[in-house]
Chain A
Amino acid sequence: MIHKNKIHNSEQPSSFGGVGGGLVIIDYGAGNIKSIQFAFKRLGVDAVLSNNIDEIKAADKVIFPGVGEASSAMKMLQESGLDKVIPTLAQPVLGICLGMQLMCNSSEEGNTKGLGIFDVDVKKFSNAVKVPQMGWNVIYNLESELFAGIKEKEFMYLVHSFYAEECAESIATTDYEIEYASALKKGNFYGVQFHPEKSSKSGEQILKNFLNI
């Protein structure tokens, strides 16, 4: 089903949603958040980078990014108190890559306890394949408004050594030696293992879909 396009296409980027908090990218020191901000800018949306709890709570939509190592990223979340805040958010939240993994119960990376939003554990790929998985692979079994206009087996860019197992909350599957959950959803929480901000036009479509939720 094609969702109504609510995005401004003006030359100048504008904060979407009018009154209120707009789009906030959680800036807690983990990862390449500039790329995500730029991707939204290409869609005509100004995203605010913030680690301010009030600003994050007031946002219309929240992006929870993350690149790097799980236990140190989790530590940074704890230091800023964001580990308590993120699971209580009521607006749509999109975790990307390590952000998605931290929203799960636990990760084998650094034996990390996660935020427990998604009821699934994060495991390491076996040595039967090259680790990290780096490059373009396909997503299928798509089951969410997040994938409106995205065809089955669409290519996405992935870089990761750990994966969330297939589970009831899986809304997309990818195959890298084993089939795993490359996207998750529970209520207002979404998570994607791939990088929509680096996945060409299809990735941009997914970011657009998130804005339209």
Chain B
Amino acid sequence: MLLAVCYLRTAKSLEPKAIKMLTKRIVPCLDIKNGRTVKGVNFVNLIDAGDPVVLAKQYAELGADELVFLDIAATLENRGTTLDMVLKVAEQVNIPFTVGGGISSVEHVDALLKCGADKVSINSSAVKRPELVSELADKFGSQCVVVAIDAKQIDGEWFVHLAGGTIPTDIKLFDWAKEVEERGAGEILFTSMNHDGTKAGFANEALAHLSELLNIPIIASGGAGTIQHFADTFIDGKSDAALAASVFHFGEIPILELKQALKEQNIPVRL
């Protein structure tokens, strides 16, 4: 909206102005299983690439604006392991982080926040019981409630999917997004299943529509492949933050280089 006037795509030759505004966020996402990072991570010489704390510190050093930890195999049994990991990350990492995966109760969120998580992300559990969004916002404040939405575009219409995208529903993306905002979500993490894993760019049309429809920040997820994809989602997709995993983990896009390139396109970033 207001920010858009500052994105002078044609003014590349001009020196970027000194930033005096909220910046766009770059958010690496780490998949966690039993307290360890799973997807191969290969961007620097790490002693232990499976240690989420080591990785998180590295990302903080490299200029990530915040981090998301996604517990991809969350069960009641390994909840303690994840809490222990959250505590260790909070002890050692000096940027904000969100924890998601298998969160369905106020008590669980309470435990995660007490271990030092800044935000939690809920997904399927919110669809199953939308009151959860309101309960979390009332008890802990909207600022720590991220609602993650996985959706797939079918014949021009976006439908919400559950359980990591495996279960389709007849819930429409924009209706659901509006409802969670009204219930007190502080932020939306939107993953386009049509774009996820393609490395062909983010779902900018849907993202821009979300940004126009809602008045809370939107994190774009799914489709990052090149630096220009990030620029596009901030400009065309009006996204407030962009999340990616493999392009960062495998060093295909170094974060510093990405932010410098964005700055050259007059996109406000923290450098």
Contact with B along A135-166 (1 / 0, CB 8 A): 11110100000000000010101111100000
Any chain B CB within 8 A of the CB of A201? yes
Specify which chain B residues have a CB less than 8 angstroms from the CB of A137 in the assembled complex: 21-23
B: residues with CB less than 8 A from A are 1-2, 18-25, 60, 65-66, 90-92, 94-96, 113-116, 118, 140-144, 186-187, 215-217, 240-241, 270
Q: A35-B116, A38-B91, A132-B186 are in contact. Are A140 and B20 (CB under 8 A)?
A: yes
Do residues B118 and A32 form an inter-chain contact, with CB atoms below 8 A?
A: yes
Inter-chain CA distance A133–B140, complex, in Å, is: 17
Q: Using a Cβ cutoff of 8 Å, how many contacts connect chains A and B?
A: 104
| Interface core residue of B18, B115, B270 (most chain A CB under 10 Å) | B270
Query: Which A-B residue pairs are the 6 nearest by beta carbons?
Result: A68-B141, A34-B116, A136-B270, A159-B143, A155-B270, A137-B22
Q: Can you report 30 residue pairs joining A to B where beta carbons are below 8 Å apart?
A: A32-B118, A32-B144, A34-B90, A34-B114, A41-B91, A42-B91, A128-B2, A129-B1, A130-B216, A131-B216, A132-B217, A134-B217, A135-B217, A136-B23, A136-B25, A136-B65, A136-B270, A137-B22, A137-B23, A153-B18, A153-B19, A155-B270, A159-B96, A159-B118, A161-B142, A175-B20, A177-B2, A198-B95, A199-B94, A203-B94
Contact of A153 with B20 in the complex, beta carbons under 8 Å = yes
Is the beta-carbon distance between B91 and A176 smaller than 8 angstroms? no
The answer to the question of A197 belonging to the interface, with a C-beta cut-off of 8 Å to chain B, is yes
Residues of A within 8 A of B270 (CB): 136, 155
Task: Tell me if A108 is interfacial: C-beta within 8 Å of chain B.
Answer: no
A156: nearest chain-B partner, CB-CB: B270
Q: How far is the CA of A170 from the CA of B114 in the complex (A)?
A: 32
Q: How far is the CA of A67 from the CA of B145 in the complex (A)?
A: 13
Do A176 and B94 touch across chains, with their CB atoms under 8 A apart? no
Name B240's contact: one of A130, A159, A199 (CB within 8 Å): A130
Q: Which residues of B contact A136 (CB under 8 A)?
A: 22-23, 25, 65, 270
Interface of B is mostly: loop
**Contact partner, B96, options A129, A157, A175, Cβ 8 Å:** A157
Asked whether, in the complex, the Cβ of B19 is within 8 Å of the Cβ of A134, the reply is no
Contact of A39 among B65, B94, B113, B186 (CB under 8 A): B94
| Residues in chain A near residue B140, CB distance under 8 A | 67-68
8 further A-B pairs in the complex, CB-CB below 8 A; given A153-B19, A159-B118 = A34-B116, A67-B143, A130-B215, A135-B217, A138-B21, A140-B20, A175-B21, A200-B94
Residues of chain B contacted by A34 (CB below 8 angstroms): 90, 114-116
Do the beta carbons of B91 and A134 come within 8 Å of each other?
no
Task: State the Cβ distance, B209 to closest chain A Cβ, in Å.
Answer: 15
Closest CB in chain B relative to A160 CB, distance in Å: 7
B187: chain A residues at CB < 8 Å are 134
CB of A83 closer than 8 Å to a CB of B: no
Please give me the residue from chain A that is nearest to B137 by CB atom: A69
**Chain B residues in 8 Å Cβ range of A158:** 22
Contact with B along A107-137 (1 / 0, CB 8 A): 0000000000000000000011111111111
Beta-carbon contact of A135 and B241 below 8 Å: yes
